[in-house]
Amino acid sequence: MAELQVAILGLLLGGVFALMASGLTLMFGVMRVVNLAHGAFILLAAYAAFFAHDLFDIDPFISLLVIIPAMFLLGVLVYATLFPRIESSPRYVEMTVLLTFGLAFVLEGLMGFAFTGIFRTANPSYATEAFLIGDLFIPKAQLFASLLSVVLLVGLWAFLRFSRNGSGVRATMQNRSAAQIVGVNVRRVSTISFGIGMALAGASGTLLSFLFPFFPSRHWQWIAILLALIVLGGLGSLKGAIVGALLLAVLSSFVSDIFGPVWAPMTFFLVLFLMLLIRPQGLFGKELRV
């Protein structure tokens, strides 16, 4: 029974981790952007949700209705301002690493100046409540967050599968050059995709605001965890990001239960290290050939 309890908690967190990683892997799959500032944008959304609840008593799930479109617009603005200037560079991927690395430091500094470095966490009523099913307990906060993550991921799948813009995104992810040849406006698709990735970061940041304590420099830990997830699943693979998130969340839950919570983050970094050694393309990624 104890093992089942640990697995349930891991799966619930895995749903939220999958939502966090989906935006990051979408950006890489479409624009080849390694967005090291993704964790900082997640925390920016977490602060927005926290202050909305703390100052105006707005539930985080309600603030999502504003934060998601606001982060989408911010993503469109960031992409249109920064990335077209470097997209012709022969070292475009490396340039995105440096650009987003600097952007992460700027965001961290601004959040530290505006919000200070103390721990924050939103405390809606359900944050400390749980459903009891026999000997099992299911935290309401994690359950609600996981269910919403599933809804948003299904919505992302439906957008990619059935919409015209989604077809352009999928075509660009499969082969950027071929998509341009058949008439896909890759610049427009990239801008929309970056906005969607940022909107997903906004949604996951809102959920993070009541699931985990956070402070400005915490984003480095989150980006390291997210990179481990998408490397395990395969860079650019949304299916891989979801599978990787669920697997590592459950594995880290068992590590936390057996060895203590201090060792749980080590799970992600160890898997990242081993995956790069054994199968660099990940579980569902494509092998790069020269």
Q: Is residue 73 part of a domain?
A: yes
Is there a domain that residue 284 lies in? Answer: no
Measured between alpha carbons, how far is residue 154 from residues 90, 148, 151, 198 in Å? 35, 10, 5, 17
288 pLDDT tier (thresholds 50, 70, 90): very low
The helix-helix angle for 264-278 and 238-259 (nearest 10°) equals 130
Q: Is residue 289 part of a domain?
A: no
| Residue 286, in any domain of the structure | no
288 within a domain of the structure (yes/no)? no
Q: What is the pLDDT of residues 138-189, one digit of tens each?
A: 999 999 999 999 999 999 999 999 998 888 888 888 777 788 888 888 888 9
Average pLDDT of the residues in 41-49: 97
**Residues making up the chain, counted from first to last:** 290
Query: Model confidence over 212-248: pLDDT tens digits?
Result: 999 999 999 999 999 999 989 988 888 899 999 999 9
pLDDT at position 289: 46
Output the domain CATH number for residue 240.
1.10.3470
- Looking at residue 3, its pLDDT comes to 87
| pLDDT higher than threshold 80 for residue 290 | no
Residue 287 in any domain: the answer is: no
Question: CB neighbours of 41 closer than 8 A, spacing ≥ 6?
Answer: 71, 74, 107, 198, 201, 202, 205
| Position 132 in a domain | yes
- Quote helix, strand, coil % in the chain, to nearest 5: 75, 5, 20
Neighbours of 118 (CB within 10 A): 8
What's the rounded Cα separation, in Å, for the pair 79 and 92? 14
Place of tokens 């977490």: 46
| Of 127, 150, 148, the residue nearest 139 (C-alpha) | 127
Looking at the structure of the chain, the number of domains it has is 1
- Among residues 245, 248, 192, 290, which one has the least CA distance to residue 21? 245
Range of the domain at 116: 2-278
Share of the chain above pLDDT 90, in %: 64
